[in-house]
Amino acid sequence: MTRLYSFHGGVHPPENKRQSLGAPIRQAPLPARLILPLQQHIGKPATPLVAVGDTVLKGQKIAEPSGHVSAAIHAPSSGSITYIGLQPVPHASGLESPCIVIETDGQEQWIERQPLTDYQQLDKQALIRHIRNAGIAGLGGAGFPTDIKLNLGRDHIVNTLIINAAECEPYITADDALMRERPDEILSGIEIIAHLLQPSHILIGIEDNKPNAIKALRDAIRARKLPIDLVVVPTRYPSGGEKQLIQLLTGIEVASGSIPADVGIVCQNVGTAAAIYRAVILGEPLISRIVTLTGFALGHRQNYEVLIGTPFSVLLESAEVDRSRMFRLVMGGPMMGISIEDDRIPVIKTTNCIIAATREEMPPSPPAQPCIRCGMCEQVCPASLLPQQLFWFAKGREFDKARHHNLFDCIECGACAYVCPSNIPLVQHYRFAKSEIRNEEAEQLKAAQARERFEARQARLAREEQEKEQRRKERAEAAAREQARKKAEAEQADAGEQDPEAELKKLKTAASIARTKLKKARDALKNAQEKGLDGTDKLEATVLQLEQSAQAAEQAWQNATGVQH
Amino acid sequence: MALIHLSSPHVSKANATDRVMRLVLLATLPALLALTFFFGWGSLIQLCLAATSALLFEAVCLRLRKRPILFFLRDGSALVTAILLALAIPPFAPWWVVVIGSFTAIVIAKHLYGGLGNNPFNPAMVAYALLLISFPVEMTQWNAPFVLIGDSWKALASFPESLMIIFSGVNHHLIDAYTGATPLEVLKHRGGMTTEEVWRNVPVLSDGVFAWYGISAAWLMGGVFLIYRKVITWHAPFAMISILFLLSSLFYAGDPSNFADPFVHIGVGATMMCAFFIATDPVSCATSNRGKIVFGIGVGALIYIIRTWGSFPDAAAFAILLMNLAAPFIDHYTQPRSYGHRRANRGIGGGR
Amino acid sequence: MTTIVTAVLILLLLALVFGLILGFAAVRFRVEGDPIVEQIDALLPQTQCGQCGYPGCRPYAEAISNGDAINKCPPGGQSTIEALADLLDREVVPLDSEHGEEQPKTVAYIREDECIGCTKCIQACPVDAILGAAKQMHTVIVSECTGCDLCVEPCPVDCIDMLPLPVTPTNWKWPAPVSDPNLILTDRGRGHLLQGGSQ
């Protein structure tokens, strides 16, 4: 038996799991419209491959990954594309984001499936490409594209594969149901993962509150004689957190800021393993998943096999929701899920649970009281942080100090807010602080970029100015040279013979200009004298001076004409 | 559809501050009973006085600060402060002592600093220290426990008599029969006698010390209850009592005629109350588990130092206040190592 | 006499020793500080909008280091003023409204069918964030636009709009939790000081 370790903190919220385990997994109805957000995973949104009006078959790829960290999207059923654009999506902000909308035709007509039953003979990269093409992203809740985790074997030595079957959040039983009913799919998926990563150890971590699933898995493992350790861990939230589960099973801590593969561990969810099986052995891309529908506002609380893109409203109707009693709609579990305002949003790859809760079930939290630093949050924090200090820093906007207290190691599990006797919304404080810090960083980056561009522009302008100046100088020099040349020529000509005609013209012009000036001055003087303004004496002097110069000019001209004629 | 939009988690433990405070109140019950049993009705009367005046001052302060009064009164923190103060002062101190104490605790030590959660010092201990310095006579005159003046608790002042003593002043003829020094005081001002002689000759020690032990045991019971209910952790009390025991054993072993034995240090005076109810006050003490241990060690050492070489017979209030001052500093240097970090962060960090 | 000499000698010796220690420390623990202008420039928002009266952020940073007021930067707003006050150990002052009001971040958009291709906005843009050529339609590179407003004025056909950045799930920020309004009655007036930095 494998040794069990422990992680710091943790809480025991009421489980509320039994209510949704009464019946086997049921097929959800085919909705009239399927809404497929382009971003259902961590990373870049997918790029659509279809246009409005196209008809698609079930399983046809309708959007392809853009970039390394991204995932493909497939049509969950056959029909036609009616709209590509903004639609409400499951996101904490409640905002809209680009989606592809398919109007289903009810035919459920499959595209030709391409299974890889002989995957063991295939090149590993080809197999990983196949999984990438199937659009598989972590089904546990984070939605990290699976092919990247499977490709780690190239630059990491992976010695332990951990299959996360803990499902520690209350209410959720999707993985539990999957393990009870389809243990073989999971084990086949694990075999494929193990083939790719070649780990020396395979561990399945499962909480001890799922005896039926444990039995089903144990029987299946025994029947197949697989070298897999099924490790039963005590029920304690958040044992299903990736880092917590790793610590529970191996005693190893994943260093802050690095990934489990850096310590030789890869973690996959059971649902992901089953999806890999379907993609490789059956050739079916990820187009459906198991979703727990629960909460006391529902008539039927059970697990559904749901096509991705099915609107929540369809599922709620199918589960006989009592809308008058529904007070809070949560996607995910009660500890980390996001609350939903609009029930038209679709199920995505990471939707493991929908809770339609009544007011009694999830009452509005009472107003927050002051923090008395009781330290209960610190006792339960699975990351061994000081939540009360982080709270002060977040509230006082002292983000530097919050960072120093490892704010970014917070996994937002909600254990602190769960135990807080003063009902302080701690997690929201941390989320606020984190997004402020990220925003600040982004702004700084942008400012640095702007500065760079500004400086480049300034340099360019200066260079252009300099070049212009240079050219102007050159032109001026050229002109000066030209003039000098002309002047020299003219002087040469002058030396030979003066041009009497031109001289005469010049004198004439000078005389007429002098006359005009004199006239203007006289007018001004007259005007000034009439109005009795000051300074007429100055004007008189000017006029006098102008008279003399006019006479001189006249004289010169007449002399010149005299000479000529 | 009116669905509400909130951040996760969407459930929370029924675990309100007032519940914590109620548990603390419950935990003071054994001490109250023991005090009443050994010293008469005084403590109960002081408690009523303190509670009433504290709630009144709290209400006035909240009013002045324009806060919702009922919302904050219900958290019970004023009541806890009042009760701890009432149980710390001599049972037959005049009424105005405890009223001034409540005023100091609630108005000066708490609301002037920004109310619940923002006070750097423990309000009850601020009040106690102020009273001790301002009214040393009233604050050190404990009445004798019944074991010194009669066979049963009937020898103590009756309820009406107690009321008269408290409300009409120390000069009342009844009080003289009762008042005397506490064991710690006797040991401190022993006038040339060795510790052993004091033990033999002074009745407060030879006969009366069991009353004090009884009260300490009652505080201990309350403290264990709080640890059991996870309201407090063991770190600070354990560290404080161990260091006090260690220091007093060392000195007692070295020179038994001049130093008091460790059991006196632990069983007499405010040690137990301080360890479980004051040194664990979350607001004004260190927060991390390691910080709590450092805090407890500091308090324990200071108590011993002040008791042995200082001018006051008991030192809990001063030790706590001094360590309250150091708590933020301790916090900065005792951060736990976070998950995924090789070493814990030290120091203040993060800018200026 | 000898005592005086000894005392003087001892003091001299001490002075020498401490001088050596200080000199060593100055060399050993020298802090390679950014010149102050760099530090100020790093705090400014780099919109290069010129609302401060200087042709860009760096000139303003130089002016600040020469003693100019720190409250002339509307795009940076109160948070920049606070950061500058912190850095320079000066008093925090409110934004000088003469230079403009603090406004939400905007980005320039060109109404493309109205653009006549005059290139005037391209010349005005301090960060080269507008693309286009003469007689060709221009467009703004949204990710590079600092929202400085400088391109709006020169446009002869008024086809540039300053629009706030749309909020999408990617750039959405978690809001700070709101406490019960009952509880912050007396804090209401101070709220904007505390919150001022967010925009």
Q: Which of A127, A136, A148, A129 is nearest to A72 (CA)?
A: A136
CA nearest to C171, candidates A91, B190, B97: A91
Q: In the prediction, which pLDDT does A232 show?
A: 93
Instruction: Decide: helix, strand or coil at residue A381.
Output: coil
At residue B350, the pLDDT reads: 46
Please state the length of chain B.
352
Q: Enumerate domains of chain C plus CATH numbers.
A: 36-99 (1.10.15.40), 104-165 (3.30.70.20)
In the structure, what pLDDT confidence band is assigned to residue A308 with cuts at 50, 70 and 90? very high
- pLDDT value at B118 more than 70: yes
Q: Which chain A residues contact residue C47 at CB under 8 A?
A: 450
Q: How close B201 comes to chain C (CA, Å)?
A: 60
| Residues of C with Cβ-Cβ distance to A435 under 8 angstroms | 172-174
Structure letter (DSSP) for residue A160: E
Residue A358, amino acid: T
Helices (H) and strands (E) in chain A, counts: 15, 17
Q: Is the pLDDT of residue A235 over 80?
A: yes
Checking if the pLDDT of C198 tops 50, the result is no
Angle at A358 between CA A352 and CA A359, to 5 degrees: 130
Among the partner residues B117, B233, B342, nearest to A371 by beta-carbon distance: B117
Quick check: A161 pLDDT over 90? yes
Q: What share of chain B is helix, strand, coil (3-state, %, to 5)?
A: 65, 0, 35
Greatest Cα pair distance in chain B: 84
Confidence label for B352 from pLDDT (cuts 50, 70 and 90) = very low
- pLDDT value at B246 more than 60: yes
- A18-30 average pLDDT score: 90
**Span B78-91, average pLDDT:** 92
Neighbours, chain B (3 or more CB pairs < 8 A): A, C
- Put simply, the answer to whether A453 touches C144 (Cβ < 8 Å) is yes
Q: What is the pLDDT of residue C194?
A: 37
Instruction: Give the CB-side neighbour count of residue B3, counting CA atoms within 13 A.
Output: 22
Percentage helix, strand, coil for chain A under 3-state DSSP, each rounded to 5? 45, 15, 40
Residue C192 pLDDT = 34
Q: Report the percent of chain C where pLDDT is more than 90.
A: 11
**CA-wise closest residue to B282 among B24, B13, B49, B6:** B24
Percent of chain A predicted with pLDDT > 70: 97
Asked if the Cβ–Cβ distance from A443 to C45 is below 8 Å, we say: yes
Whether residue C118 is annotated as binding a ligand: the answer is: yes
Check residue A498 and give its pLDDT: 60
The residue with greater pLDDT, C95 or B236, is B236
- Residue B4's pLDDT band, with cuts at 50, 70 and 90, is low
Higher pLDDT, A529 or A482: A482
pLDDT, average across residues A408-433: 90
For residues C84-99, average pLDDT = 84
Fold entry, domain A18-358: Rossmann fold (3.40.50)
- Asked if C103 has any chain A CB less than 8 Å from its own CB, the reply is no
Alpha carbon separation from A485 to A480, A503, B45, B140, C167 (Å, rounded):
8, 22, 120, 117, 69
Residue-range domain boundaries for chain A: 18-358, 375-489, 502-564
Cα–Cα distance measured from residue A336 to residue B7, given in angstroms and rounded to the nearest whole number: 9
Judged by a CB distance cut-off of 8 A, whether residue B314 touches chain A is no
Instruction: Over range A267-275, report the average pLDDT.
Output: 93
Tokens of B42: 């005084």
Closest among B53, C189, B19 to A369, alpha carbons compared? B19
Collapsed DSSP state (helix, strand, coil) of residue B80 = helix
Q: Does the pLDDT value for residue C187 go beyond 50?
A: no
The shortest C-alpha distance from A443 to chain B (Å) reads: 19
Question: With a cut of 0.95, is the ipTM above it?
Answer: no
At B161, list the tokens.
């008599």
Cβ atoms of residues B87 and B47 within 8 Å? yes
Give CA–CA dist B241/B275, Å, rounded: 7
Using a CB-CB cut-off of 8 Å, the residues of chain B touching A17 are none
pLDDT per residue as tens digits for the range A454-495: 888 889 889 999 999 999 999 999 999 999 998 888 888 766
Residue identified by tokens 């061994």 is A384
Q: In the predicted model, what is the mean pLDDT of chain B?
A: 84
pLDDT one-digit tens code per residue, C133-181: 888 888 888 888 888 888 888 888 888 888 888 788 878 888 888 764 4
Contacts of A258 in chain B (CB under 8 A): 340
Looking at the partner chain, which of A368, A432, A453 has a beta carbon nearest the beta carbon of C127? Answer: A453
Confidence of residue B288 (pLDDT cuts 50, 70, 90): confident
Report the range of poorest mean pLDDT among A210-219, A415-424, A513-522, B229-238. Answer: A513-522
**pLDDT of B283 above 60:** yes
Q: Which of A362, A360, A320, A318 is nearest to A337 (CA)?
A: A362
Cβ–Cβ < 8 Å for B40, B51 = no
Calculate the CA C36 to chain-centre distance.
Answer: 14
Q: What angle do CA A500, A501, A506 make, to 5 degrees?
A: 95
Q: Is B8 or C70 the better-scoring residue by pLDDT? A: C70
**Which of A94, A404, A420 is the closest to B349 by Cβ?**
A404
Pull the structure tokens for residue A528: 């000034």
Chain C residues touching residue A429 (CB < 8 angstroms): 176-177
Q: What is the mean pLDDT of residues B127-136?
A: 92
Q: What's the pLDDT tens digit per position in A541-556?
A: 888 888 888 888 888 8
The two structure tokens encoding residue B341? 């970090």
Q: Among B5, B345, B351, whose Cβ lies nearest the Cβ of A94? A: B5
Q: What local confidence, expressed as pLDDT, does residue A495 receive?
A: 66
d(C-alpha C150, C-alpha C56), whole Å: 11
Which residues, listed in sequence order, are joined to residue A102 by a DSSP beta bridge? A34, A81
Q: Nearest-CA distance from C32 to chain A in Å?
A: 21
Instruction: Look over chain A and give the mean of its residue pLDDT values, rounded to a whole number.
Output: 88
Is the backbone of residue C193 left (phi > 0), alpha (psi -120 to 50) or beta?
Answer: alpha
The pLDDT, as a whole number, for residue C197 is 33
Domain ranges of chain B: 19-180, 208-331
Q: Which residue of B has its CA nearest to A94?
A: B5
In this prediction, residue A184 carries a pLDDT of: 93
For residues A185 and A179, give the distance between their C-alpha atoms in angstroms, rounded to a whole number: 9
Residue A151, pLDDT above cutoff 50: yes
